[in-house]
Amino acid sequence: MESGSVRAVTAGDCTDLYYLDTGMYDADGYGAVYVLDDDDRPVVVETGIGTNHERILEALTELDIARDELAAIAVTHVHLDHAGGAGFLARACPNADVYVPAVGASHLADPSALVAGTKAAVGDQWEFYTEPEPVPEDRVVEIEDGDVIDFGDHELRVHEAPGHAFHQVVFADPENDAVFTGDAAGLWAPEHERIVETSPPSDFDLEQCLADLETIAEIDPDVLCYTHFGPREVGDDLDRALEEYATVLEEWVADVAAAREECEDDEAVVEQFAASTDLGEVWNERKASAEAAMNARGVLGYLDDRD
Protein backbone atom coordinates (compact mmCIF):
# COMPACT_ATOMS: atom_id res chain seq x y z
CA MET A 1 0.00 0.00 0.00
CA GLU A 2 1.46 3.36 -1.04
CA SER A 3 1.61 6.41 1.17
CA GLY A 4 -1.37 8.69 0.70
CA SER A 5 -3.68 6.00 -0.61
CA VAL A 6 -7.01 5.24 1.08
CA ARG A 7 -8.70 1.85 0.96
CA ALA A 8 -11.86 0.25 2.24
CA VAL A 9 -11.38 -2.23 5.06
CA THR A 10 -12.61 -5.50 3.58
CA ALA A 11 -11.47 -7.74 6.42
CA GLY A 12 -14.24 -9.69 8.09
CA ASP A 13 -17.64 -8.07 7.71
CA CYS A 14 -16.46 -4.48 8.13
CA THR A 15 -18.57 -1.75 6.58
CA ASP A 16 -18.18 2.02 6.36
CA LEU A 17 -14.53 1.68 7.41
CA TYR A 18 -11.48 2.93 5.51
CA TYR A 19 -7.78 3.27 6.23
CA LEU A 20 -5.05 5.56 4.98
CA ASP A 21 -1.27 5.18 4.86
CA THR A 22 0.07 8.53 6.10
CA GLY A 23 3.65 7.87 4.99
CA MET A 24 4.92 8.18 8.56
CA TYR A 25 8.72 8.41 8.82
CA ASP A 26 8.88 8.31 4.99
CA ALA A 27 8.04 4.61 5.23
CA ASP A 28 5.21 2.83 3.47
CA GLY A 29 3.16 0.51 5.64
CA TYR A 30 4.02 2.02 9.02
CA GLY A 31 1.38 4.57 10.04
CA ALA A 32 -2.36 4.11 9.48
CA VAL A 33 -5.31 6.38 10.17
CA TYR A 34 -8.87 5.03 10.03
CA VAL A 35 -12.06 6.73 8.89
CA LEU A 36 -15.37 5.35 10.12
CA ASP A 37 -17.85 6.84 7.65
CA ASP A 38 -20.96 6.60 9.79
CA ASP A 39 -23.99 8.20 8.13
CA ASP A 40 -24.79 10.20 11.26
CA ARG A 41 -21.40 11.13 12.70
CA PRO A 42 -18.20 10.28 10.78
CA VAL A 43 -15.07 9.79 12.88
CA VAL A 44 -11.32 9.66 12.32
CA VAL A 45 -9.49 7.15 14.53
CA GLU A 46 -5.82 8.06 15.16
CA THR A 47 -4.17 11.08 13.51
CA GLY A 48 -0.53 10.27 12.75
CA ILE A 49 2.34 12.56 13.67
CA GLY A 50 0.83 15.63 12.05
CA THR A 51 3.43 15.98 9.32
CA ASN A 52 1.17 14.59 6.62
CA HIS A 53 -2.18 15.62 8.09
CA GLU A 54 -3.21 17.03 4.69
CA ARG A 55 -3.42 13.45 3.44
CA ILE A 56 -6.11 12.73 6.01
CA LEU A 57 -8.08 15.76 4.85
CA GLU A 58 -7.68 14.63 1.24
CA ALA A 59 -8.97 11.18 2.24
CA LEU A 60 -12.07 12.79 3.75
CA THR A 61 -12.66 14.61 0.48
CA GLU A 62 -12.18 11.37 -1.47
CA LEU A 63 -14.78 9.73 0.79
CA ASP A 64 -17.17 12.66 0.24
CA ILE A 65 -17.03 13.72 3.89
CA ALA A 66 -17.07 17.50 4.20
CA ARG A 67 -14.72 18.92 6.82
CA ASP A 68 -17.58 20.47 8.77
CA GLU A 69 -19.37 17.09 8.76
CA LEU A 70 -16.62 15.26 10.64
CA ALA A 71 -18.02 14.71 14.12
CA ALA A 72 -15.11 13.23 16.03
CA ILE A 73 -11.41 12.54 16.17
CA ALA A 74 -10.54 9.65 18.50
CA VAL A 75 -7.02 8.69 19.57
CA THR A 76 -5.97 5.57 21.48
CA HIS A 77 -3.22 7.43 23.32
CA VAL A 78 -1.29 10.68 23.16
CA HIS A 79 2.04 9.51 21.76
CA LEU A 80 2.64 11.81 18.81
CA ASP A 81 2.58 9.02 16.23
CA HIS A 82 -1.07 8.54 17.23
CA ALA A 83 -2.20 12.01 18.33
CA GLY A 84 0.27 14.45 16.78
CA GLY A 85 -2.16 15.45 14.06
CA ALA A 86 -5.14 16.04 16.35
CA GLY A 87 -4.72 19.83 16.57
CA PHE A 88 -4.33 20.23 12.82
CA LEU A 89 -7.45 18.16 12.14
CA ALA A 90 -9.42 19.98 14.83
CA ARG A 91 -8.58 23.31 13.23
CA ALA A 92 -9.58 22.10 9.75
CA CYS A 93 -12.74 20.30 10.95
CA PRO A 94 -14.51 22.82 13.20
CA ASN A 95 -17.31 20.53 14.40
CA ALA A 96 -15.15 17.58 15.39
CA ASP A 97 -14.56 16.93 19.09
CA VAL A 98 -11.33 15.21 20.04
CA TYR A 99 -11.82 12.09 22.18
CA VAL A 100 -8.74 11.22 24.22
CA PRO A 101 -8.02 9.13 27.34
CA ALA A 102 -8.55 11.40 30.33
CA VAL A 103 -5.14 10.81 31.90
CA GLY A 104 -3.42 12.14 28.77
CA ALA A 105 -5.89 14.82 27.74
CA SER A 106 -3.89 17.74 29.11
CA HIS A 107 -1.06 16.91 26.70
CA LEU A 108 -3.27 17.68 23.70
CA ALA A 109 -4.27 21.08 25.09
CA ASP A 110 -0.62 21.82 25.94
CA PRO A 111 1.71 19.47 24.02
CA SER A 112 4.99 21.00 25.22
CA ALA A 113 5.88 18.22 27.68
CA LEU A 114 4.85 15.60 25.16
CA VAL A 115 7.11 17.15 22.55
CA ALA A 116 10.06 17.19 24.96
CA GLY A 117 9.52 13.54 25.85
CA THR A 118 9.18 12.53 22.22
CA LYS A 119 12.39 14.31 21.25
CA ALA A 120 14.21 12.45 24.01
CA ALA A 121 12.76 9.10 22.89
CA VAL A 122 13.17 9.36 19.10
CA GLY A 123 16.45 11.27 18.79
CA ASP A 124 17.26 12.35 15.25
CA GLN A 125 13.99 10.83 14.05
CA TRP A 126 12.43 14.09 15.23
CA GLU A 127 13.15 15.50 11.76
CA PHE A 128 10.13 13.53 10.50
CA TYR A 129 7.82 15.24 13.00
CA THR A 130 6.25 18.66 13.12
CA GLU A 131 5.39 20.72 16.18
CA PRO A 132 1.81 19.73 17.08
CA GLU A 133 -0.92 22.32 17.32
CA PRO A 134 -2.74 22.51 20.66
CA VAL A 135 -6.32 21.29 20.68
CA PRO A 136 -8.70 23.91 22.15
CA GLU A 137 -9.73 22.78 25.61
CA ASP A 138 -13.42 23.09 24.81
CA ARG A 139 -12.97 20.59 21.96
CA VAL A 140 -11.33 17.92 24.14
CA VAL A 141 -13.60 15.12 25.38
CA GLU A 142 -12.01 12.98 28.09
CA ILE A 143 -12.78 9.26 27.93
CA GLU A 144 -12.23 6.42 30.37
CA ASP A 145 -12.57 2.66 30.57
CA GLY A 146 -16.18 1.61 30.03
CA ASP A 147 -17.26 4.71 28.11
CA VAL A 148 -19.25 4.32 24.89
CA ILE A 149 -19.02 6.89 22.10
CA ASP A 150 -22.16 6.69 19.97
CA PHE A 151 -21.95 7.66 16.30
CA GLY A 152 -25.30 6.31 15.13
CA ASP A 153 -24.82 3.06 13.22
CA HIS A 154 -21.49 2.50 14.96
CA GLU A 155 -20.12 3.08 18.42
CA LEU A 156 -16.68 2.92 19.98
CA ARG A 157 -16.42 1.17 23.34
CA VAL A 158 -13.44 2.24 25.43
CA HIS A 159 -11.19 -0.34 27.14
CA GLU A 160 -8.12 0.73 29.08
CA ALA A 161 -4.87 -0.90 27.92
CA PRO A 162 -2.02 0.82 29.79
CA GLY A 163 0.86 -1.61 29.21
CA HIS A 164 2.38 0.29 26.30
CA ALA A 165 1.60 3.69 27.82
CA PHE A 166 -0.38 4.58 30.93
CA HIS A 167 -2.68 6.74 28.78
CA GLN A 168 -3.58 4.06 26.22
CA VAL A 169 -6.99 2.59 25.46
CA VAL A 170 -8.31 0.37 22.70
CA PHE A 171 -11.59 0.98 20.89
CA ALA A 172 -14.04 -1.82 20.17
CA ASP A 173 -16.41 -1.33 17.22
CA PRO A 174 -19.10 -3.99 17.81
CA GLU A 175 -20.93 -3.33 14.53
CA ASN A 176 -17.76 -4.25 12.61
CA ASP A 177 -16.62 -6.84 15.16
CA ALA A 178 -13.31 -4.99 15.20
CA VAL A 179 -10.86 -3.47 17.67
CA PHE A 180 -8.65 -0.45 17.03
CA THR A 181 -5.60 -1.72 18.87
CA GLY A 182 -3.37 1.33 19.18
CA ASP A 183 -0.08 -0.30 20.16
CA ALA A 184 -1.62 -2.85 22.54
CA ALA A 185 -1.31 -5.76 20.08
CA GLY A 186 2.10 -4.89 18.65
CA LEU A 187 3.12 -3.73 15.19
CA TRP A 188 1.75 -5.73 12.26
CA ALA A 189 3.70 -5.96 8.99
CA PRO A 190 1.04 -7.34 6.62
CA GLU A 191 3.26 -7.94 3.60
CA HIS A 192 5.53 -10.11 5.75
CA GLU A 193 2.75 -11.45 8.01
CA ARG A 194 4.95 -10.61 10.96
CA ILE A 195 4.14 -9.19 14.36
CA VAL A 196 6.79 -6.92 15.91
CA GLU A 197 7.35 -5.73 19.46
CA THR A 198 6.85 -2.16 20.61
CA SER A 199 8.28 -1.21 24.02
CA PRO A 200 9.18 2.49 24.09
CA PRO A 201 10.26 4.41 27.18
CA SER A 202 9.13 5.37 29.68
CA ASP A 203 5.93 3.49 30.45
CA PHE A 204 6.44 0.03 28.95
CA ASP A 205 5.36 -2.69 31.38
CA LEU A 206 5.54 -6.31 30.22
CA GLU A 207 3.04 -7.76 32.67
CA GLN A 208 0.48 -5.06 31.88
CA CYS A 209 1.02 -5.54 28.15
CA LEU A 210 0.18 -9.21 28.58
CA ALA A 211 -2.91 -8.24 30.55
CA ASP A 212 -3.93 -5.90 27.72
CA LEU A 213 -3.81 -8.84 25.32
CA GLU A 214 -6.22 -10.65 27.63
CA THR A 215 -8.51 -7.60 27.43
CA ILE A 216 -8.57 -7.85 23.64
CA ALA A 217 -9.17 -11.60 23.87
CA GLU A 218 -12.20 -10.97 26.08
CA ILE A 219 -13.62 -8.52 23.51
CA ASP A 220 -13.13 -11.35 20.97
CA PRO A 221 -13.04 -9.33 17.73
CA ASP A 222 -12.91 -10.75 14.23
CA VAL A 223 -10.67 -7.94 12.96
CA LEU A 224 -7.71 -6.15 14.55
CA CYS A 225 -7.14 -2.63 13.21
CA TYR A 226 -3.50 -1.82 13.88
CA THR A 227 -2.24 1.75 13.79
CA HIS A 228 1.03 0.13 12.71
CA PHE A 229 -0.22 -1.18 10.28
CA GLY A 230 -3.61 -1.86 8.80
CA PRO A 231 -6.55 -4.25 9.30
CA ARG A 232 -5.98 -7.92 10.02
CA GLU A 233 -8.73 -10.50 9.95
CA VAL A 234 -8.07 -13.00 12.72
CA GLY A 235 -11.43 -14.75 13.17
CA ASP A 236 -11.04 -18.03 15.01
CA ASP A 237 -7.26 -17.46 15.11
CA LEU A 238 -7.50 -14.51 17.50
CA ASP A 239 -6.06 -16.40 20.45
CA ARG A 240 -3.17 -17.66 18.36
CA ALA A 241 -2.43 -14.14 17.08
CA LEU A 242 -2.44 -12.68 20.59
CA GLU A 243 -0.38 -15.55 21.99
CA GLU A 244 2.14 -15.00 19.20
CA TYR A 245 2.58 -11.39 20.24
CA ALA A 246 2.84 -12.37 23.90
CA THR A 247 5.68 -14.70 22.97
CA VAL A 248 7.38 -12.02 20.88
CA LEU A 249 7.25 -9.59 23.81
CA GLU A 250 8.49 -12.08 26.38
CA GLU A 251 11.38 -13.21 24.16
CA TRP A 252 12.27 -9.60 23.35
CA VAL A 253 12.48 -8.64 27.03
CA ALA A 254 14.54 -11.76 27.74
CA ASP A 255 16.93 -10.92 24.89
CA VAL A 256 17.48 -7.38 26.15
CA ALA A 257 18.00 -8.62 29.70
CA ALA A 258 20.57 -11.16 28.48
CA ALA A 259 22.39 -8.51 26.45
CA ARG A 260 22.58 -6.28 29.51
CA GLU A 261 24.39 -9.07 31.35
CA GLU A 262 26.95 -9.32 28.55
CA CYS A 263 27.50 -5.67 27.55
CA GLU A 264 29.60 -3.14 29.37
CA ASP A 265 26.80 -0.58 29.66
CA ASP A 266 23.24 0.10 28.56
CA GLU A 267 24.25 2.22 25.59
CA ALA A 268 26.14 -0.77 24.23
CA VAL A 269 22.95 -2.81 24.58
CA VAL A 270 21.00 -0.23 22.60
CA GLU A 271 23.68 -0.05 19.90
CA GLN A 272 23.76 -3.83 19.62
CA PHE A 273 20.05 -4.10 18.86
CA ALA A 274 20.05 -1.05 16.60
CA ALA A 275 22.80 -2.62 14.50
CA SER A 276 21.39 -6.14 14.39
CA THR A 277 17.71 -5.58 13.57
CA ASP A 278 16.35 -7.45 10.55
CA LEU A 279 13.39 -5.11 10.05
CA GLY A 280 15.02 -3.03 7.32
CA GLU A 281 13.14 -4.98 4.68
CA VAL A 282 9.86 -4.28 6.46
CA TRP A 283 10.19 -0.45 6.61
CA ASN A 284 13.62 0.95 5.85
CA GLU A 285 17.02 0.56 7.47
CA ARG A 286 16.98 3.88 9.27
CA LYS A 287 13.51 3.46 10.73
CA ALA A 288 14.17 -0.17 11.68
CA SER A 289 17.37 0.77 13.52
CA ALA A 290 15.72 3.67 15.35
CA GLU A 291 12.75 1.48 16.33
CA ALA A 292 15.03 -1.20 17.77
CA ALA A 293 17.04 1.35 19.74
CA MET A 294 13.94 2.98 21.21
CA ASN A 295 12.39 -0.36 22.12
CA ALA A 296 15.59 -1.54 23.79
CA ARG A 297 15.68 1.62 25.92
CA GLY A 298 12.09 1.01 26.94
CA VAL A 299 12.87 -2.52 28.10
CA LEU A 300 15.95 -1.37 30.01
CA GLY A 301 13.79 1.15 31.87
CA TYR A 302 11.22 -1.57 32.61
CA LEU A 303 13.94 -3.86 33.96
CA ASP A 304 15.15 -1.09 36.26
CA ASP A 305 11.66 -0.47 37.57
CA ARG A 306 11.00 -4.18 38.03
CA ASP A 307 14.22 -4.73 39.94
Q: pLDDT band for 189, please (50, 70, 90 cuts).
A: very high
* Average pLDDT score over the chain: 95
Q: How many angstroms from the chain centroid is the CA of residue 150?
A: 22
- Does the CA dihedral 216-206-276-28 come out positive or negative? positive
- Rounded mean pLDDT, 234-250: 97
Q: What is the pTM of this model?
A: 0.96
Q: What pLDDT does 32 receive? A: 97
Question: Residue 190, SS3?
Answer: coil
How many C-beta atoms surround the C-beta of residue 137 within 10 A?
11
Burial of 63 (0-12, 13-18, 19+ CB in 10 A): middle
* DSSP-derived secondary structure for 101-125: EGGGTHHHHSTHHHHHHHHHHHGGG
Give the SS3 label for residue 200. Answer: coil
Mean pLDDT of 147-158: 95
pLDDT of residue 39: 84
Mean pLDDT highest for which of 22-31, 113-122, 160-169?
A: 160-169
- What residue type is 21 in one-letter code? D
Q: DSSP code of 283?
A: S
Mean pLDDT, residues 78-88 taken together: 97
Q: What is the pLDDT of residue 83?
A: 97
- Most confident residue range from 119-123, 228-232, 286-290, 303-307: 228-232
Q: Per-residue pLDDT averaged across 215-234, rounded?
A: 98
Residue 282, pLDDT score:
87
Short-list 46, 75, 70, 52, CA closest to 60:
70
Q: Give the per-residue pLDDT at 254.
A: 98
Q: What is the mean pLDDT of residues 74-103?
A: 97
Domain ranges of the chain: 6-250
pLDDT at residue 157, as a whole number:
98
- CA 196/CA 30 separation, integer angstroms: 12
Would you state the pLDDT for residue 299? 98
Q: Give tens-digit pLDDT for 36-72.
A: 998 889 999 999 999 999 999 999 999 999 999 999 9
Q: How far, in Å, CA of 67 to CA of 71, rounded?
A: 9
Give the pairing of strands 32-36 and 43-45.
antiparallel
Q: Supply the pLDDT for residue 4.
A: 75
Residues β-bridged to residue 174: none
Predicted local confidence at residue 306, as pLDDT = 87
According to the CATH classification, is domain 6-250 in 3.60.15.10? yes
Name the pLDDT band for 302 (thresholds 50, 70, 90): very high
Whole-number Å distance between alpha carbons of 78 and 246: 23
Q: Where would I find the H helices in the chain? A: 53-62, 80-83, 86-92, 106-109, 112-122, 206-219, 238-262, 266-276, 285-306
187, pLDDT greater than 80: yes
Residue 3 has pLDDT above 90, yes or no: no
What pLDDT was estimated at residue 280? 87
DSSP 135: P
Weakest mean pLDDT among 64-68, 222-226, 287-291 = 287-291
